[in-house]
Chain A
């Protein structure tokens, strides 16, 4: 019965192809993202393969977050073993059905305390089931393993793998968090991309909708027809995109493993349900993005069916302009209100609302922008007939050129915002660290593990003549409840005058000494996360889950180099899962020669003066994090697809004009020049609009993360983005022109 709804798709799928491509791309990325988010790592049991039951102190940190009605228990995987007393092995060996119980140590994240072991591997007697044994062991375990402990983890079967390597659990959690963080980015970008292509495919069929309206189609029927078409495209796109998506997800997981974001052996989740998942993602996106287009199609005046040609309104409706201005104002407001955030994907999560507003503003104000610029560019018409023709076309049909401009702005804005938020943060890190380190010399540990300078070396450095101060530092994860329970970056610092070697820009309290019972907190973490002030008591959690209750003794501003929390190394010792060594020793006074001589006793130790050390920090910071590159890749693909779609369609749409001009005597060169002017206009206006949104977003972002309002945009990559977008704009305009201009004299002049 509804033949008239889908006949367009069946017999003339051209206008819908762009939407289909965008939907399929979105589906592929969604399937890949879900595959990554739900990836699994087979447990590599290693030494524990022979054990039936594994007993360890709880490998999860469980804390009640919030107060009153909002209170809820949250848990995160611990980066280090809390350890169990070695004597517990003997106790468990006496449980009926146990053949042997052995204390085992030396796992990644293992403890380094005498009398303690990482875990106990229990082998069952023949004839005793593991479930029965696990229940007996649970009953036997003391209710409280040690002071402040949170219980035991008793693992059997596949769960033993999670206990065998704590890094796996932490890495998996990070990887999953990343996969989940990608999804909102994808959905937002896909919404914009699909909205652009759908709007275009609807505007191409304006006359058809007018005809349907004239012969009696109600607005509701037109709206439903457009949405039904969108639904069909969503399902088709989902089916087409799911297979490449599975491959993409597997590739992404492999790449993540290679970059240490996932434990080795991790595989992406995939299965026959992926096609359903893909449709489940594309369907709401397609329908949502089609709403505006469907509304516009339904509003088509039936009188348009009578007129053979029509001109667009030069100025869009005041409602649209007001909405656009409101979106622009929203972006500025978000910039001002931007909050500090931590955690994986938070940079993008923070930038997203601001970017959204900016993009919405560009999308709504696009035609106005085009009309204004076209007016200002009128003198360019003197460049020749091609320029005159192109400019006239742009001025009279601002909405058509506007959709192309929006596609270019989308690409520049989104790609730029992601790429240069990374560079801005990296740059700020370098700048801060050069301001932060005031030590004359820095000793760094070599090798693979970060902390390799033993405390004896610090003592040795302190005894050297001429050394006025020496402080050892080691990075560590510290659990905090800053609204959510999470581990954030901080450092353990040795007893010593910290302020003599690090200028952290202390705003309250003092850092000349950080003793047990004290903690130094960055001003950002203090104001946004912990909500702590000087002298307040706070509770944080060491890597093995041990709570550390401390008084805030200093607040400092420069947190990019050292993290957001500083605690005394003496407190962290034994709770980090690593030997109690330092990654760096910062020295005031002394000579390079004497320090080098001392370091020679410990192979791999490097001695650098402040300048050399800072340049090393700079080169490390420039390396883009892999996760951000992945997000950048996704955005690039989606925006490029949108841009190509839009430009190709809007060029092909002008086929009739090309034929007409060809007949009245325009040479192919003149026509090509006209399209070049068009592409130039679209590139320049689109890049300018996109760059404005990008910079606007970056100002808020860098201020939130680094405290500075000046984003760092390196010229090379910026030119690369602009150049690539412009090149794509020209290619996507001129390639279809080449095709249609070749056929111009063979085809009749008709619509």
Chain B
């Protein structure tokens, strides 16, 4: 297998990625030499207690932040060799995002929000395509003309998923997509994401064990390092493991550079 095809089949590769915030004594290592690969079509949850570096991992993998050290390959491109504009275009064409909340531009209607990546790319927006994307996430045509403030939290997340899917991306990054939802609604949104994004590589950052029920793989982060990887995770085991990590964190052995 050639190197090129290997890269394309593994659209997200992190190699020795470190990220520090701040300088000198107050510096914090959010990521510490993390190496991970997310194969094509995989559906992975990245788990960890608060402050473990999971959001930073997502930002670095998606090219929203630049790592302090190490390299990230996204859809075959070495991110640190790309200009800001090239990274933006890469995101627009090949990456979809779903955030915890405030996903949607409040002044745009649901329809306009879903079409946003297409419009930014100056692509012709066909109403049918938008309605189709909306239908895949269970939004009715009548809801498309509403502003985000007129939708429920679950409906807003569905619209966000529709937006993430509308360009037919290779990878979808989701940061706590169900964090602000009740368990029942969260379940629905996850099921939807799993179905709608079939074939797409999905990376979900979460602290909710139930989310892993829909995942192929769970990656555990602790203090900026990969603590373990579990295939076909069981939510009960995941919860137990998270509790254990939480207990360790409570004893205060989080690494702070300079304090050590």
Q: How far is the CB of B193 from chain A (nearest CB, A)?
A: 17
Chain B residues with CB below 8 A from A217, complex form: 88, 92, 120
Tally of contact residues, B, Cβ under 8 A? 32
Q: Does A211 contact B (CB under 8 A)?
A: yes
Q: Does B100 contact A (CB under 8 A)?
A: yes
Q: How far is the CB of B16 from chain A (nearest CB, A)?
A: 20
The residues in B between 4 and 44 inclusive whose CB is less than 8 angstroms from any CB of A are none
Chain B residues with CB below 8 A from A302, complex form: 64, 88, 91
The residues in B between 206 and 231 inclusive whose CB is less than 8 angstroms from any CB of A are none
* Stretch of B103-111, B129-137, B235-243 with 4 or more beta carbons under 8 angstroms from chain A: B103-111
A208 x B105 contact (CB < 8 A):
yes
Q: Mark A4-31, 1 if CB is under 8 A from B, else 0.
A: 1001101110000000000000000000
Contact A10:B175 (CB < 8 A) given known A215-B97, A302-B64: no
Which of A1, A10, A220, A751 interacts with B102 by CB under 8 Å? A751
Inter-chain CA distance A4–B109, complex, in Å, is 10
Which of A11, A215, A751 interacts with B120 by CB under 8 Å? A215
Contact A4:B102 (CB < 8 A) given known A221-B120, A303-B65: no
Inter-chain CA distance A685–B169, complex, in Å, is 51
The residues in B between 22 and 79 inclusive whose CB is less than 8 angstroms from any CB of A are 55, 58-59, 64-65
Inter-chain CA distance A218–B84, complex, in Å, is 8
Q: Does B89 contact A (CB under 8 A)?
A: yes
Q: Mark B103-127, 1 if CB is under 8 A from A, else 0.
A: 1011110001000110111100000
Q: How far is the CB of A744 from chain B (nearest CB, A)?
A: 19
Contact A216:B112 (CB < 8 A) given known A7-B107, A211-B103: no
Q: Does A485 contact B (CB under 8 A)?
A: no
Chain B residues with CB below 8 A from A214, complex form: 64, 91, 97
The residues in A between 478 and 509 inclusive whose CB is less than 8 angstroms from any CB of B are none
The residues in A between 160 and 199 inclusive whose CB is less than 8 angstroms from any CB of B are none
Contact A215:B64 (CB < 8 A) given known A4-B108, A7-B112: no
Which of B64, B100, B119 interacts with A4 by CB under 8 Å? B119
Name the interface size band of chain A. Answer: 20 to 34
**Max chain A C-beta neighbours (<10 A), residue from B64, B91, B105, B163:** B105
B88 x A212 contact (CB < 8 A):
no
Chain A residues with CB below 8 A from B102, complex form: 207, 211, 308, 751
Chain A residues with CB below 8 A from B92, complex form: 215-217
**Max chain B C-beta neighbours (<10 A), residue from A211, A213, A214:** A214
Q: Does A305 contact B (CB under 8 A)?
A: yes
Q: Does A219 contact B (CB under 8 A)?
A: yes
B88 x A7 contact (CB < 8 A):
no
Inter-chain CA distance A335–B228, complex, in Å, is 67
B107 x A8 contact (CB < 8 A):
yes
Closest B residue by C-beta to A212: B105
Inter-chain CA distance A10–B109, complex, in Å, is 12
Inter-chain CA distance A208–B148, complex, in Å, is 13
A219 x B88 contact (CB < 8 A):
yes
Inter-chain CA distance A305–B112, complex, in Å, is 18
Closest B residue by C-beta to A217: B120
B105 x A7 contact (CB < 8 A):
yes
A218 x B88 contact (CB < 8 A):
yes
Inter-chain CA distance A220–B64, complex, in Å, is 17
Q: Does A3 contact B (CB under 8 A)?
A: yes
Q: Does A301 contact B (CB under 8 A)?
A: yes
Q: Does B184 contact A (CB under 8 A)?
A: no
Inter-chain CA distance A1–B119, complex, in Å, is 7
**Max chain B C-beta neighbours (<10 A), residue from A1, A3, A207, A306:** A306
Which of B89, B99, B107, B116 interacts with A12 by CB under 8 Å? B107
B107 x A11 contact (CB < 8 A):
yes
Contact A4:B112 (CB < 8 A) given known A217-B120, A305-B99, A306-B99: yes
Chain A residues with CB below 8 A from B103, complex form: 211
Inter-chain CA distance A8–B84, complex, in Å, is 25
Chain A residues with CB below 8 A from B89, complex form: 216, 218
Chain A residues with CB below 8 A from B99, complex form: 305-306
Inter-chain CA distance A212–B106, complex, in Å, is 12
Closest B residue by C-beta to A219: B84
Closest B residue by C-beta to A299: B84
Q: How far is the CB of B194 from chain A (nearest CB, A)?
A: 22
Inter-chain CA distance A3–B115, complex, in Å, is 11
B105 x A303 contact (CB < 8 A):
no
Chain B residues with CB below 8 A from A212, complex form: 105, 116, 120
Inter-chain CA distance A740–B117, complex, in Å, is 35
Inter-chain CA distance A677–B120, complex, in Å, is 44
Which of A4, A218, A301 interacts with B85 by CB under 8 Å? A218
A308 x B100 contact (CB < 8 A):
yes
Chain A residues with CB below 8 A from B117, complex form: 215-216
Chain A residues with CB below 8 A from B187, complex form: none
B65 x A301 contact (CB < 8 A):
yes
A4 x B59 contact (CB < 8 A):
no
Q: How far is the CB of A151 from chain B (nearest CB, A)?
A: 66
Q: How far is the CB of B150 from chain A (nearest CB, A)?
A: 12
Closest B residue by C-beta to A216: B92
Q: Does B147 contact A (CB under 8 A)?
A: yes
7 A-B pairs, CB-CB below 8 angstroms?
A1-B122, A207-B102, A214-B97, A305-B64, A305-B99, A306-B64, A751-B102
